[in-house]
Structure 1
Amino acid sequence: MTIFSAIGIAGTGVTVYRKWLDAISDNVANMNDAAPTSGQVFRARYVQARAVDYGTGEGGVVVAGTALGDPKGRLVFEPENPLADHEGYVKYPDVDLGSQMTQMIMAQRGYQANLTVVDRAKDAYQAAIQIGKG
């Protein structure tokens, strides 16, 4: 693996982790969006990653797709809510804040680790240029 391929592979990781963070932010931002029981509720997004050329040490990772959360949501008794049905229930997205915060920490750490790889590879490349000048 060359320095340039290390930068490229780490760059793919940065992209995947950024998209994971985007999905988490959407989930958290919409977790309190009420909907009538007859309507559709926000569905959480979950990023699915896939290795490119797994086992070769080349290629990095890509977003293979996204999975959507439970379309049923969760029913909450809120008779004072203007969206409540005749029994007083509204639907909320089935998003667990604790799980989202845990995923956010993992995604942030992965993002930072990949940026560190890029930074270290850049430093190694610059050091190699300096050796060549000498």
Structure 2
Amino acid sequence: MTFDALGIAGTGMTVHRKWLDAVADNLANINTARPTDGAAFQARYLIAREGADGSGVYVEGAAWGDPEGRMVHDPQHPLADEAGYVRYPDIDMAAQMGQLILAQRGYQASAAVIERARSSYEAALQIGRQA
């Protein structure tokens, strides 16, 4: 049972770390301008699924944001088209910050489970040594 908890919590930490990475990429590129004849930076959203027989959670894949992004009139920008427009990603900073907090808290919870399971395992070994 303790080893199951370690493995399951470990999969949770992995998924939450990958989620944190995706959110960090999205936030880092929130102001990435592209020419209007190309696609905008596409935000990455992870798709997680439960493993077989409750063996944890896994990243199944990713969903991508809208490549159309949003058009901003900025004639002074070096990438602006003839009409003065530049393409930016359609990423909501407030939503991404909320996702960042959720992913961080999930990672912390999984780490706490691992620490408690490790402590339980060590206590069981001590009991075994005393017998």
1:70 aligns with 2:66: yes
Uncovered stretches (5+) of structure 1, i.e. residues with no partner: none
Question: Normalising to structure 1: TM-score of the pair?
Answer: 0.94
Q: Counterparts of 1:67 and 1:40 in 2: how far apart (Å)?
A: 16
Question: Normalising to structure 2: TM-score of the pair?
Answer: 0.96
Give the superposed CA RMSD. 0.8
1:111 aligns with 2:107: yes
Partner of 1:22: 21
Q: Counterparts of 1:5 and 1:33 in 2: how far apart (Å)?
A: 43
Question: What secondary structure is seen at the aligned counterpart in 1 of 2:47?
Answer: strand
Q: Counterparts of 1:35 and 1:12 in 2: how far apart (Å)?
A: 36
Q: Counterparts of 1:52 and 1:82 in 2: how far apart (Å)?
A: 48
Question: What secondary structure is seen at the aligned counterpart in 2 of 1:71?
Answer: coil
Q: Counterparts of 2:51 and 2:75 in 1: how far apart (Å)?
A: 51
Q: Identity, % of aligned pairs?
A: 57
Q: Counterparts of 1:32 and 1:9 in 2: how far apart (Å)?
A: 37
Listed one character per residue, the Cα deviations across residues 35-91 of structure 1 (whole Å, up to 9, x for unaligned) are 1111121100000000012xx4x3101001000000100011101111111111100
Q: Counterparts of 1:12 and 1:39 in 2: how far apart (Å)?
A: 37
* Letter aligned with residue 22 of structure 2: A
* Letter aligned with residue 65 of structure 2: G
Q: Which moved more, 1:119-128 or 1:77-86?
A: 77-86
Shift of 1:13: 0.4
Between Structure 1 and Structure 2, which shows a larger proportion of helix residues? 2
1:37 aligns with 2:36: yes
Count of residue correspondences: 130
Following TM superposition, the consecutive aligned residue runs of length 4 or more in structure 1 with deviations greater than 6 angstroms are none
Partner of 1:87: 83
